[in-house]
């Protein structure tokens, strides 16, 4: 076994029981290592407690509003509806608590020792937790990230995703600030639940890094849902009003009134009180822990992965990194460096976005001659309703090799559809393979195998 070494209390001490840390700990224990893990806040980390899982539950809740309005076209009369935020939050909390306990059992059943408290590195082989000193052959930093707010007057009056999941009431008017996927998702959640929602972003268009057609299509769909999108705008200060509400003064002098200002303007690596000064670990220019392709820091016994290394900040990536590290340390013959190519991803905006592979802009910049296939249509389900929302599908194809380089979608269940397409792209599918695939009718997904004419 890799680094197992008797003079140490454990072979691996993991700091942070989030997606990456738990996976690395359990997998390492499964490979026979003696493993301990520390968690200072919540078992399961960001994803389970204040990230992917509760967010998706809130997204589900916010869709009912539209479903009720569609129902009449299908012959249903929905007499009256009422939404109760405290019920949603209480039910969500119960489910998250259940998941926390599942994580506890998974760790204990796999033989990992759990320490609940803040861990601090004392030196390259020693960690302190709850007044106890534990020596380790290897230390893994998997401490994740933390939401950031800008340093403007009144920033303390604003919330982040950490607090949004526990608000006592649904605010009547919300300003969401940011242009990344979390801001787009929360604007959709608040709007769908009935809050008057404004989204402010300092750039020209949200979702930088996504395909331009997808960004523009989503912008138009979101505008159709009454979210007040304000691009090229930013908040200069926030003030509490006499009636308890907030006044957000924009840089151009305009004042917007709201009951909640929500910042989703990025996350910083969580390094607070970690004791990195006692090690040779170095940081990147962006402040993330610097690692090589094998998750090694500058300190040979200390490794890092997940959001804290600032690479691809997604749960499935942290899970894959955790498994890769466990193999490298405790089953080196099975180890392969992780392949970061073709990672599919979804944005649970309304409608959803999902994407895998290159955007048209990236592929052109890399010098590919392209054929672009694009289709925009009204989904069958909406044809009996007043809803004018449209689905967009796009394939980016290399004109010389016929290989499909990227696949992008805006529309219901985009994530469910693109997950399957990602397998095809991983297998190197050409457009011809897409064309030879028989569709499933009637679905939206069949459009991906029936687009024949390049635009
Ligand atoms: C609002 C939101 C929505 C998201 N939605 C998605 C999504 O839909 N899909 C997706 O794939 N990803 C999503 N993510 C990203 C995903 O949550 C992260 O990529 C993932 O959780 C990273 O895992 P991690 O193990 O690196 O860190 P984390 O899950 O953040 O875990 C780190 C853990 O370390 C603990 N910790 C920190 N310091 C210490 C210390 N010194 N001692 C002990 N414990 C410590 C923290 O309390 C935390 O529990 C979302 C994130 C947010 C914020």
Q: What is the pLDDT of residues 370-401, one digit of tens each?
A: 999 999 999 999 999 999 999 999 999 999 99
What number is the average pLDDT over the span 237-244?
97
What number is the average pLDDT over the span 296-311?
98
Residue 80: alpha-carbon gap to chain centroid: 34
Report residue 6's pLDDT band, with 50, 70 and 90 as the boundaries: low
Give percent of the chain with pLDDT exceeding 90.
98
Give percent of the chain with pLDDT exceeding 70.
99
Q: In Å, how far are 17, 213, 217, 448, 454 from 391, measured between CA atoms?
A: 38, 12, 9, 12, 18
Is the CB of residue 34 below 6 angstroms from any atom belonging to ligand 1? Answer: no
pLDDT value at 1 more than 70 = no
8 Å CB contact between 144 and 45: yes
What number is the average pLDDT over the span 300-315?
98
Strands 404-410 and 391-398: antiparallel
At 227, list the tokens: 């979210």
At 310, list the tokens: 């600032």
pLDDT value at 4 more than 90 = no
Q: Ligand 1, atom 12: nearest CA belongs to which residue?
A: 314
Report residue 2's pLDDT band, with 50, 70 and 90 as the boundaries: very low
Closest atom, ligand 1, to C-alpha of 117: 43
Q: Determine the distance separating the centroid of ligand 1 and the alpha carbon of 259, expressed in angstroms.
A: 28
What phi and psi values does residue 92 have, to the nearest 5 degrees? -60, -45
Query: What is the gyration radius of the CA atoms in the chain, in angstroms?
Result: 24
Q: What is the pLDDT of residues 266-284, one digit of tens each?
A: 999 999 999 999 999 999 9
Nearest to 407 by CA among 437, 382, 441: 437
Is the CB of residue 143 below 6 angstroms from any atom belonging to ligand 1? Answer: yes
Q: What is the pLDDT of residues 155-173, one digit of tens each?
A: 999 999 999 999 999 999 9
Q: Determine the distance separating the centroid of ligand 1 and the alpha carbon of 451, expressed in angstroms.
A: 38
Q: In Å, how far are 158, 174, 178, 221, 247 from 239, measured between CA atoms?
A: 10, 15, 19, 32, 5
The enclosing H or E element of 129 equals strand 126-129
At 31, list the tokens: 């490979």
Q: What is the pLDDT of residues 193-233, one digit of tens each?
A: 999 999 999 999 999 999 999 999 999 999 999 999 999 99
Q: Determine the distance separating the centroid of ligand 1 and the alpha carbon of 449, expressed in angstroms.
A: 36
Question: Which residues are marked as active site?
Answer: 441
Give 113's strand partners.
36
Residue 135 DSSP one-character state: E
Q: What is the pLDDT of residues 421-439, one digit of tens each?
A: 999 999 999 999 999 999 9
Q: Determine the distance separating the centroid of ligand 1 and the alpha carbon of 318, expressed in angstroms.
A: 9
pLDDT at 161: 98
Is the CB of residue 352 below 6 angstroms from any atom belonging to ligand 1? Answer: no
Is the CB of residue 49 below 6 angstroms from any atom belonging to ligand 1? Answer: no
Is the CB of residue 142 below 6 angstroms from any atom belonging to ligand 1? Answer: yes
Residue 428, class by beta-carbon neighbours within 10 Å (0-12 exposed, 13-18 middle, 19+ buried)? exposed
- Cα distance between residue 45 and residue 23, in whole Å: 11
| Lookup result for tokens 């009256």 | 80
Could you tell me where the DSSP H helices lie in 228-379?
A: 315-330, 360-365
Report residue 3's pLDDT band, with 50, 70 and 90 as the boundaries: very low
75: left (phi over 0), alpha (psi -120 to 50) or beta: left
Q: Average pLDDT, whole number, for the chain?
A: 97
Residue 178: alpha-carbon gap to chain centroid: 14
pLDDT value at 285 more than 60 = yes
At 69, list the tokens: 């309005």
8 Å CB contact between 19 and 318: yes
Residue 29, class by beta-carbon neighbours within 10 Å (0-12 exposed, 13-18 middle, 19+ buried)? buried
Closest atom, ligand 1, to C-alpha of 129: 42
Is the CB of residue 421 below 6 angstroms from any atom belonging to ligand 1? Answer: no
């Amino acid at each position: 076994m890799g680094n197992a070494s008797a003079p140490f209390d454990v072979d691996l001490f993991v700091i942070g029981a989030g997606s990456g840390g738990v996976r690395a700990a359990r997998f390492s224990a499964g490979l026979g290592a003696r493993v301990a893990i520390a968690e200072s806040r919540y078992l399961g980390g960001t994803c389970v407690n204040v990230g992917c899982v509760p967010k998706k539950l809130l997204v589900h809740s916010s869709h009912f509003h539209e479903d009720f309005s569609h129902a009449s076209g299908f012959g249903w009369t929905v007499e009256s509806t009422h939404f109760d935020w405290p019920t949603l939050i209480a039910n969500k909390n119960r489910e998250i608590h259940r998941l926390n306990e599942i994580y506890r059992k998974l760790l204990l059943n796999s033989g990992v020792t759990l320490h609940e408290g803040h861990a601090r590195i004392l030196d390259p082989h020693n960690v302190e937790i709850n007044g106890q000193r534990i020596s380790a052959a290897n230390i893994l930093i998997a401490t994740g990230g933390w939401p950031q707010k800008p340093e403007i007057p009144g920033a303390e009056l604003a919330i982040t995703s950490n607090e949004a999941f526990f608000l006592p009431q649904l605010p009547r008017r919300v300003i969401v600030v940011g242009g990344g996927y979390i801001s787009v998702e929360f604007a959709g959640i608040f709007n769908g639940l009935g809050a008057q929602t404004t989204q402010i972003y300092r750039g020209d268009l949200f979702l930088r890094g996504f395909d331009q057609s997808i960004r523009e299509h989503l912008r138009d769909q979101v505008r159709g849902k009454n979210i007040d999108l304000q691009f090229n705008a930013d908040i200069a200060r926030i003030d509490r009003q006499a009636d308890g509400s907030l006044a957000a003064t924009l840089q151009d002098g305009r004042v917007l009134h709201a009951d909640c200002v929500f910042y989703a303007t990025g996350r910083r690596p969580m390094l607070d009180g970690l004791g990195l000064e006692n090690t040779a670990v170095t940081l990147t220019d962006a402040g993330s822990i610097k690692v090589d392709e094998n998750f090694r820091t500058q300190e040979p016994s200390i490794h890092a992965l997940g959001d804290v290394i600032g690479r691809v900040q997604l749960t499935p990536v942290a899970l894959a990194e955790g498994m890769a590290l466990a193999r490298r340390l405790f089953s080196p013959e099975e180890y392969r460096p992780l392949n970061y190519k073709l990672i599919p991803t979804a944005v649970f905006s309304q409608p959803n976005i999902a994407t895998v592979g290159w955007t048209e802009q990236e592929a052109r910049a890399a010098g590919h001659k392209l054929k672009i296939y694009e289709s925009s249509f009204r989904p069958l389900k909406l044809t009996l309703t007043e809803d004018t929302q449209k689905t967009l599908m796009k394939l980016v194809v290399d004109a010389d090799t016929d290989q499909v380089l990227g696949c992008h979608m805006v529309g219901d269940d985009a994530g469910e559809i693109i997950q399957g397409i990602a397998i095809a792209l991983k297998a190197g599918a050409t457009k011809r393979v897409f064309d030879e695939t028989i569709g499933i009718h009637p679905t939206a997904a069949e459009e991906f195998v029936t687009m024949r004419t390049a635009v």
